[in-house]
A = this chain, B = another copy of it.
């Protein structure tokens, strides 16, 4: 039987090395590549055609969510297993809708990670037991959010503003930083929020965490 060919996409070198060591210790798993951001993860996935991409959700340049979406269209045969620290249901649903084949928490034991890799490589789906309950009950509970999603992507300017808001800046401070009128900032904020179906500042912070916006100095 062939080994499972895995591509690791994770921005922290130390963590990445650790994952590599864990995977390399398995006789049936092979690490064929590494990427430190979402953009190169996609490039390498196209080139190497791995069985599984082990994808950290928060990465620079292109976050795990968008990278997953892109991969699921350009390389539908590549399974994406998302690795994250959040067990919040919102992220889970977004990721699954984006085409992720599985969802493993960084808090989970490595044995689970390995199990997940083997499951998705075999064509299955794997959800971490710690969150699996949330997806069944979750969809109904969040019926108020409707089918949502599929909203359009925010523009560059809008993302920029949303990021600064999540970082705690006021509209006025953002206007100063970007050399804009406060009014313009308000519009970017409102449009960005509308596109993402957001209802308040909390949603912006949640989104920012998912995007990895709060982790780069």
Contacts and interface: CB of A to CB of B under 8 A. Distances in A.
A203 to B, nearest CB: 8
Given A21-B22, A217-B88, A167 B202 contact: yes
Nearest to A17: B110
A25 B94 CA distance: 38
Given A22-B21, A217-B86, A13 B168 contact: no
Interface residues of A, number: 40
B167 A205 contact: yes
A215 to B, nearest CB: 6
Most chain B CB within 10 A, of A25, A170, A217, is at: A217
A215 B13 contact: no
A206 to B, nearest CB: 8
A18 B22 contact: yes
Given A88-B217, A166-B205, 10 more contacts: A14-B107, A17-B18, A21-B21, A21-B25, A85-B215, A86-B215, A86-B217, A167-B205, A168-B204, A173-B200
Contacts of A170: 200-201
Interface string A154-182: 00000000000011111001000000000
Contacts of A168: 166, 200-206
A176 to B, nearest CB: 13
A30 interface: no
Nearest to A91: B217
A186 interface: no
Nearest to A207: B168
Given A18-B17, A85-B215, A215-B86, A107 B169 contact: no
Interface string A174-202: 00000000000000000000000000111
